[in-house]
Amino acid sequence: MDRLVDAALAGTASIGNRQIAGNTPTAALVAQLSDLSPALRLLLAAGTQALYTQAGRAVGPPVAAPAPAPPDRLPVCSTGAARLLDQLLDQDSAGILPEALGRLARVGQRLPPPLLVAALTAGKRRADLRPALLPVLDARGHWLASRNPDWAWATSAVATIGGELPPDAEAIWQEGNAP
Amino acid sequence: MELTPEQVLALAPDTGVATSGKKLAITGWHGLGRDAVALWGEYQGSAHYQVRAALGDLTVKCSCPSRKFPCKHGIGLLLLVATDPDALPTAEAPEWVSDWIQRRASTAEQRETKERAKSTAATDGTTPVKRASKSADRRLARVQGGLDALDLWLDDLLRGGLAQVATQPATFWERQAARLVDAQAPGLAGRLRRMAALSHASRDWPALLLVELGRVALLTHSFRRIDELDPALREDLRGAIGWTLTQDEVLARGEVVGDRWLVLGQRATVEDRLRTQRTWLLGATSGRYAMILQFAHGDQPFEAQYIPGTGIGGDLVFWPSAWPLRAAVRERHGEPTQFPAAIVGLPSLAALLEAFATAIGHQPWLPRLPAIISAVTIIHGDGGHWLARDEQGATLPLLGDEHWHTLALSGGAPVDLIAEWDGATLLPLGLLVGGSYHRLGEGR
């Protein structure tokens, strides 16, 4: 294709009568066409070669899959609760989202995966939500947060505890570390 | 009705309506009821509204003055029944519901009679055909004139070299595009308009531009020899130029396929305030893919509702093509149902590429193909690139850089991915995770 691109950039007027052909079998097909200007011949060579290349496209070389999210520990909340939380994450005009999240944590349930992006984004915007969000994100939420620098708030909160888990780690996990 | 709240919310024309609908689904209703064909209820807000919905195609009619469609009351009513099916007792429909259902039925009947008359006329070879062939001759002459002028323009452009494009303003492309619109070749005009955005957009713009110009030259060159092509491919060539058959012509002579059609996903694009929506369907028995195209101006709603993650029974009519995909719904039967728990997908990304190569071998102007690929892992790779990885570890790139929701739903584990492949990137439309469907992207 490079040869065709160079010729196209310079213009067929400047390269005289030199034949510009592609380097795929389609070049032979274009060569069979008579009574065409060098310019149109160049375009047809590029068009057929592009199609040829597209048909022969190969998949990328094998890569290893990163570790998936560890299994969540908590049961997921009910669909009714999920819908209410979805609405509150979308618009919390009454300011009751922290309480709703707190109640979710108290009954030991987690947010369903479809709400995780909204929850992590809300936590980035509103620091007041973070203590209530941390316990209900569960393993999948923390795994997701660790992949996006925008959501560092959810991972650094865990890191501040230190290298070792504190004795009340289970309680913090279940209830959040709010006083 | 077998809809989930998530699917009902997907019907909302914008997020404002979805949010208000969610609030309305909680209280304020009376006179709720349902029968075999409709749902209804009355909502008391600042005023009193009568809300009704047809179960067959989920069309909603409300007495409120909103210009949104469906309005928040309609979404509220559908959400109510999706959340709690027992909230609506079976009852006899009040007059304001049964009248509406009857009116809808008689309009549908009239349309059918008209279509039947048209297709009889077409097969009889009576009236409109002669007139149609005369106007087709006129159009052919205009299109050919337009393509001749385009060839001269291309010739000039390549003789002088693409480097000169660097100094050209956007009007350089627009002027030629407008000429093609006048020549009734809007498909080619659209291609030229998109080229305006290509020049200098990236480091390899000369190669990208040359390829696009090359594809246009293939079209103009093929059109000169259209009579030598296979009849089905002639239709594709006309379609690529923008000389598409009308829905009426297709209903009269297209291939009809009846099946239970799974709504795989949806994608909407906007160009000059014209919204275009593609809905991909898969026949549960036939295994055939189909694409429904709908157009709407500005805030107008699309005519019909297709909810990703549901199945609809009915007959589709396919546009004639060497690789038929575009279709229109001729008749819909029954209510929407949920997806089956499992759909057999392609075993690998290599299989997808092979399917695409076969398809463009038949129809070289095919822009994209839908596919379901089994056991795909979504990866956010180094440098922020998103990849789909199949069971063998092979990868293909995903379009764009916002796939966090897809990653959240999959949790980095293999899932069945429903996507469009355009020859360069995958555009995810849906996921099947543990037997349940999740819609991705915006279809409005």
pLDDT per position as a tens digit, B132-141? 678 888 889 9
Judged on CB neighbours under 10 Å (0-12, 13-18, 19+), B295 is exposed
User: What pLDDT is attached to residue A159?
Assistant: 44
Q: How far is CA B98 from CA B69, B276, B308, in A?
A: 21, 33, 29
Contacts of A68 in chain B (CB under 8 A): 377, 411-413
- Percentage of the residues of chain B whose pLDDT score is greater than 90: 59
At residue A179 the predicted structure's pLDDT band, cuts being 50, 70 and 90, is: very low
Average pLDDT (B103-117) is 76
User: What pLDDT is attached to residue B209?
Assistant: 93
Which of A172-176, B72-76, B93-97, B192-196 shows the lowest mean pLDDT across its residues? A172-176
At residue B125 the predicted structure's pLDDT band, cuts being 50, 70 and 90, is: very low
User: What pLDDT is attached to residue B120?
Assistant: 61
pLDDT surpassing 80 at residue A72 = yes
Average pLDDT (B283-310) is 91
Residue A106 lies in a domain: yes
Residues of A (94-133) whose Cβ lies below 8 Å from B: 113-114, 116-117
Query: For B222-248, how does the pLDDT look when each residue is reduced to its tens digit (9 = 90+)?
Result: 999 999 999 999 999 999 999 988 888
Are β-strands B60-62 and B29-34 bridged in parallel, bridged antiparallel, or unpaired? Answer: unpaired
Average pLDDT (B47-74) is 89
Does the beta-carbon distance from B22 to A50 stay under 8 Å? no
When mean pLDDT is compared over A12-21, A79-88, A154-163, B6-15, the highest value belongs to: A79-88
User: What pLDDT is attached to residue A160?
Assistant: 42
- Enumerate the domain spans of chain B: 5-99, 132-241, 247-338, 349-439
Residue A64 lies in a domain: no
User: What pLDDT is attached to residue B188?
Assistant: 94
Specify the number of domains making up chain A: 2
Does the beta-carbon distance from A140 to B157 stay under 8 Å? no
Q: Which residue of B has its CA nearest to A54?
A: B423
pTM beyond 0.90, yes or no: no
Residue A131 lies in a domain: yes
Contacts of A18 in chain B (CB under 8 A): none
Domain spanning B349-439, CATH architecture: Beta Barrel (2.40)
User: What pLDDT is attached to residue B239?
Assistant: 93
Matching CATH topology for B247-338 and B349-439? yes
Inform me whether the C-beta atom of residue B31 falls under 8 Å from chain A C-beta atoms.
no
Contacts of B29 (CB under 8 A, 6+ apart): B41, B42, B43, B44, B76, B77, B80
Inform me whether the C-beta atom of residue B210 falls under 8 Å from chain A C-beta atoms.
yes
Average pLDDT (B414-438) is 93
SS3 B432: strand
Measured in whole angstroms, the distance separating CA A17 from the mean position of its chain's CA atoms is: 50
Q: Hunting for tokens 């549901």 — which residue is that?
A: B310
pLDDT surpassing 90 at residue A170 = no
pLDDT surpassing 80 at residue B176 = yes
Q: To the nearest whole number, what is the mean pLDDT of chain A?
A: 85
Does the beta-carbon distance from A8 to B215 stay under 8 Å? no
Distance in angstroms (rounded) separating the CA atoms of residues B147 and B150: 5
When mean pLDDT is compared over B161-175, B263-277, B346-360, B374-388, the highest value belongs to: B346-360
Please tell me whether residues A48 and A94 are part of one structural domain.
no
Task: Name the residue facing B158 among A8, A64, A140 (closest C-beta).
Answer: A8
Distance in angstroms (rounded) separating the CA atoms of residues B62 and B274: 26
Residue A63 lies in a domain: no
Upstream peptide bond of B70 is cis (omega within 30 degrees of 0): yes
pLDDT surpassing 90 at residue B213 = yes
Angle between helices B205-224 and A2-10 (to 10 degrees): 90
Contacts of B405 (CB under 8 A, 6+ apart): A114, A117, B440
Please tell me whether residues A113 and A168 are part of one structural domain.
yes
Please tell me whether residues A51 and A98 are part of one structural domain.
no
The ipTM, to two decimals, is: 0.84
Contacts of B199 (CB under 8 A, 6+ apart): B165, B166, B168, B205, B209
pLDDT surpassing 70 at residue B255 = yes
Residue A163 lies in a domain: yes
pLDDT surpassing 90 at residue A140 = yes
Inform me whether the C-beta atom of residue A143 falls under 8 Å from chain B C-beta atoms.
yes
Residue A72 lies in a domain: no
SS3 A157: helix
Residue A149 lies in a domain: yes
Identify which has the larger pLDDT, B149 or A22: B149
User: What pLDDT is attached to residue A17?
Assistant: 60
Q: To the nearest whole number, what is the mean pLDDT of chain B?
A: 89
Identify which has the larger pLDDT, B331 or B417: B417
- The minimum CA-CA distance between A132 and chain B, rounded to whole Å, is 20
Contact B5, A81 (CB under 8 A): no
Choosing among 3.50.30, 3.30.160, 3.40.50, 2.40.50, the CATH entry for B247-338 is 2.40.50
In degrees, rounded to 5, the angle at the alpha carbon of residue B332 between the alpha carbons of residues B329 and B335 is: 135
pLDDT surpassing 60 at residue A112 = yes
Residue A74 lies in a domain: no
Range of the domain at A86: 79-175
Task: Name the residue facing A87 among B22, B151, B216 (closest C-beta).
Answer: B22
Identify which has the larger pLDDT, B269 or B128: B269
Inform me whether the C-beta atom of residue B375 falls under 8 Å from chain A C-beta atoms.
no
Does the beta-carbon distance from B163 to A69 stay under 8 Å? no
Structure tokens that stand for B268 in this block: 């909407």
Please tell me whether residues A83 and A51 are part of one structural domain.
no
Q: Hunting for tokens 């009576």 — which residue is that?
A: B126
- The minimum CA-CA distance between B359 and chain A, rounded to whole Å, is 9
Does the beta-carbon distance from B408 to A144 stay under 8 Å? yes
Query: For B366-414, how does the pLDDT look when each residue is reduced to its tens digit (9 = 90+)?
Result: 999 999 999 999 999 878 889 999 999 999 999 988 899 999 999 999 9
